[in-house]
Amino acid sequence: MKSQIKDLNLASKGEEKISWVKSHMPVLNLINQEFSKSKPFKGKRVVICLHLEAKTGYLAQVIQAGGAEVAVVASNPLSTQDDVVAALVDSGITAFAWHGATSEEYHEHLDSAVKFEPNLIIDDGGDLVALIHSKYPQLLKNVIGGCEETTTGILRLRSLEREGILQIPMIAVNDALSKYLFDNRYGTGQSVWDGIMRTTNLVVSGKTVVVIGYGWCGKGVALRAKGLGANVIICEIDPIKAIEALMDGFRVMPMLEAAPLGDFFITVTGNKNVIRQEHLEVINNNAILANAGHFDIEISKPDLEKATLDNRKVKTNIQEYTFSDGRKVFLLAEGRLVNLAAGDGHPAEIMDMTFALQALSLEYLTQNNSLENKVYKVTKEIDERVAILRLASLGIEIDKLSPEQEAYLDNWQF
Ligand code: NAD
Ligand code: ADE
């Protein structure tokens, strides 16, 4: 199939980017060497629906080295880096994506990706899997299974499974320990601030940061805000997470109370309308609004438009909204994931582990052909193997249980 991309001439810039991250992804490098010999995906078509930046580009090349015919498609219209996509096409991968695709183009690209007739899928957020189930069910018979990258995608998969609609086995990569403990927490923690700081060029120290959602991502965003010298407020709906935030040293209050206090607001709940009309009515003048959750529905853009007189672009990725009383707020990256739409996503060393899990889980699907149409955990062996390889790449050794200790831990009689 013919690729649908912005400009093939950008390829050399994309190759530079991929080459840089590759030199910081030692675990994936090892898997690349393994796959180049064992060819686990020989004769298989793989569709990868992820944020199309350099680390994803390298993952696509590793799957290709494993013998697959690979197509990539964007999981978000603003996170696509056109130079990376061009480099992939240059290396024989089919691509359907360009930066800033309209909603219509985004869905056309997903349609094209499904028509590539995948045998294996990597999805991020569930749009590809939802599309193939709803519009192209006849193609599901070719699909061995797939892997899902993020919390929101797994919620959608579990809903498909509960309703008895899921027709393929799916592996919940997000739920592996060596994924969410590092990617969601430290990856999001660092890359969200990278995205906000490179876009606004404003100081964080001494400011009030409101983080809405204290899950794995929210903890990382709050921790890094504290490290930058901010006063951090957490808004939660889960009483246990709220106590956790309190014990971690943060103030906890409802969003309505936090709205007049914050200088930066970061939503990271996976939920919708967490910043809405009632909050906007009292929100602090000059507040910066950013989202790090999967979809651009956490900050209600319809409410923002209703509550304000007008809005204008003041800088790339910054939209200024003016209220009738003269207050202003600034929305970053159209309310899409700020670390990917206004940044390069998580650091390479973090995505090394996440994408190693993706690659090994995809291989697992090819080796286990009696899986049911369910959502599966990443196996403990794969999860631990990724952690072991990461430690080894850092030259770090850890202790082992002695036989005596193993026996002690296994025995109820002391
Ligand atoms: P999580 O389930 O660990 O945390 C979400 C938290 O939000 C929970 O504690 C929940 O109680 C809270 N919450 C839900 N609704 C709320 C509301 N109305 N007000 C306040 N709190 C609310 O999930 P997570 O792994 O932290 O992921 C959060 C989102 O971020 C998901 O959409 C996920 O897909 C996405 N994600 C983004 C990135 C990124 O790179 N930006 C990386 C990983 C995950
Ligand atoms: N880069 C590619 N995919 C990503 C993701 N899901 N989160 C953060 N950075 C990424």
With contact defined as beta carbons under 8 Å apart, do 320 and 160 qualify? no
From the CA of 51, how far away is ligand 2's center (Å)? 6
From 233, 269, 338, 355, mutation site for ligand 1 pocket: most ligand atoms within 8 A of C-beta: 269
Same fold, 8-179+346-393 and 186-341: yes
With contact defined as beta carbons under 8 Å apart, do 335 and 299 qualify? yes
Q: Which fold has domain 186-341?
A: Rossmann fold (3.40.50)
Could you give phi then psi for residue 49, rounded to 5 degrees? -110, 95
Summarize pLDDT for 305-345 with one digit per residue, the tens: 999 999 999 999 999 999 999 999 999 999 999 999 999 99
**If you classify domain 8-179+346-393 with CATH, what class do you get?**
alpha beta
What pLDDT does residue 414 have? 76
Domain map of the chain by residue range?
A: 8-179+346-393, 186-341
From the CA of 154, how far away is ligand 1's center (Å)? 12
From the CA of 355, how far away is ligand 1's center (Å)? 20
- Closest residue by Cα to atom 43, ligand 1, is 184
From the CA of 274, how far away is ligand 1's center (Å)? 11
From the CA of 266, how far away is ligand 1's center (Å)? 11
From the CA of 125, how far away is ligand 1's center (Å)? 12
| Nearest atom, ligand 1, residue 212 CA | 20
From the CA of 171, how far away is ligand 1's center (Å)? 19
| Nearest atom, ligand 1, residue 271 CA | 15
Summarize pLDDT for 48-97 with one digit per residue, the tens: 999 999 999 999 999 999 999 999 999 999 999 999 999 999 999 999 99
In angstroms, the CA 378 to CA 175 distance is 8
| Nearest atom, ligand 2, residue 124 CA | 6
Say if pTM beats, i.e. exceeds, 0.85.
yes
What pLDDT does residue 247 have? 98
- In short, whether 149's Cβ falls inside 6 Å of ligand 2 is yes
| Nearest atom, ligand 1, residue 270 CA | 32
- The ligand minimizing its distance to the Cα of 75 is 2
What pLDDT does residue 135 have? 97
| Nearest atom, ligand 2, residue 345 CA | 9
Structure tokens at 370: 């009696």
* Residues in the ligand 1 pocket, defined by CB under 6 Å: 150-152, 180, 184, 188, 212-218, 235-238, 241, 268-271, 274, 292-294, 337, 339
In angstroms, the CA 120 to CA 68 distance is 10
Strand arrangement, sheet containing 231-235: 251-252, 231-235, 208-212, 264-267, 287-291, 328-332, 318-322, 310-315
> 114 in the Ramachandran plot: left (φ > 0), alpha (ψ -120 to 50) or beta?
alpha
Pairing assessment for the beta strands 310-315 and 318-322 based on DSSP bridges: antiparallel
Task: For the beta carbon of residue 285, count every other beta carbon within 10 angstroms.
Answer: 12
- Closest residue by Cα to atom 3, ligand 1, is 215
- The ligand minimizing its distance to the Cα of 245 is 1
- Closest residue by Cα to atom 32, ligand 1, is 270
Residues of the chain short of pLDDT 50, as ranges, are none
- The ligand minimizing its distance to the Cα of 298 is 1
Single out the residue of 69, 169, 61, 67 nearest to residue 116, CA to CA.
Answer: 69
What pLDDT does residue 413 have? 84
From 181, 217, 272, 274, mutation site for ligand 1 pocket: most ligand atoms within 8 A of C-beta: 217
- Closest residue by Cα to atom 22, ligand 1, is 213
